[in-house]
Structure 1
Amino acid sequence: MRDRRGERSRRLRRHCAAADSTRTDDRGQLSLTVVEAVVATLFVLAVAAGFALAPPAPTAESDALARQATDAASLVGSVPAEGPGTLLGVACGSPAEFDDRAARLHEVAAAGLPNGAFVSLRTEVGSVGRPPPETARVRTATAVVPRCTATLEVWYP
């Protein structure tokens, strides 16, 4: 009888030892539904963030303003001077020549703009017109002639 008890206690100890060793290897599993819910939530958040962070589409107003800036730059770059070359090219000869022709350059740049629009013209030798405030809607264009590059900003307050 003693062997039987000893045998039973040994089996019981082996069984307990085996049960303890399987407990350390057991892993919990997530429900497939929980995993799907997390993935779906992340997908929806990613799509929402994509819409929230996307740049706004250009409006017809900003396209018109860009066209006005390009037209003004074309006018400024093509107006002939009294002598050879263009008005802008002669004006860029020196700061004094720019100052002499600044009013005419500004007049030419503003000629095709609608009421309420402003223009600012900058070159290496000088600038004319009011610079736009930070809150203004601004579009920029460049006029390039020999010896001079002018940057025009057309803006609405």
Structure 2
Amino acid sequence: MCERHGERSRRLSCRRTDDASARTEDRGQLSLTVVEAAVATLLVLAVAAGFALAPPAPASEADSLERQATDAASLVAAVPAGATGTLLGSACASSGDFDARAARLHEVASAGLPSGAFVSLRTDVGSVGRPPPETARVGSATAAVPRCTATVKVWYP
């Protein structure tokens, strides 16, 4: 539908009245608040999934040293002697027997430790290995066999 604007003006002004233009004016828009809520929900779910799927935290160093000391003590207590009994049991028979077997006991206690770790083994009849300094991180365990109890300390400088 077109209208004439005054007699001097030869210009016609037309308005569209077809169905396509009517439909575009009636079309609604998605609320910005809804879009923000959806994005925020996705962000929260992504963060939660990140925490849920993250690898477990490594064991603390103190737990690791305790575990290493326990493993070393188990090895020392389980190594058989030449005839009967264990190497630790026969080493504890006397201080002379301990001195004769000290190197082997230290070797067995150090066998499963990572490089850089030190081990100290103490019994009532003797000791082998360097004692840990006061500033060192230390893990400690006890190995007990008939006639002997040994304290095994694993430490890092």
TM-score bin, normalised by smaller chain: 0.5 to 0.7
1:86 equivalent in structure 2: 86
Which segments of 5 or more consecutive residues in structure 2 lack a partner in the other structure?
Answer: 1-58
| Higher helix fraction (1 or 2) | 1
2:70 equivalent in structure 1: 70
Cα offset, 1:60, TM superposition:
1.4
1:128 equivalent in structure 2: 128
Instruction: Say which one has the larger Rg.
Output: 2
1:103 equivalent in structure 2: 103
**Deviation by residue 1:35-61 (Cα, 9 ceiling, x = unmatched):** xxxxxxxxxxxxxxxxxxxxxxxx611
- SS for the counterpart of 2:150 is strand
- SS for the counterpart of 1:90 is helix
Task: Report the number of matched residues.
Answer: 99
- Tell me how large the CA RMSD over aligned residues is: 0.7
TM-score, normalised with respect to structure 2: 0.62
1:154 equivalent in structure 2: 154
**Consecutive aligned runs of 4 or more in structure 1 exceeding 2 Å deviation:** none
- In the TM superposition, 1:2-81 aligns within 5 A as 60-81=60-81
TM-score, normalised with respect to structure 1: 0.62
Cα offset, 1:107, TM superposition:
0.2
**Deviation by residue 1:13-68 (Cα, 9 ceiling, x = unmatched):** xxxxxxxxxxxxxxxxxxxxxxxxxxxxxxxxxxxxxxxxxxxxxx6111111100
Alignment identity in percent? Answer: 76
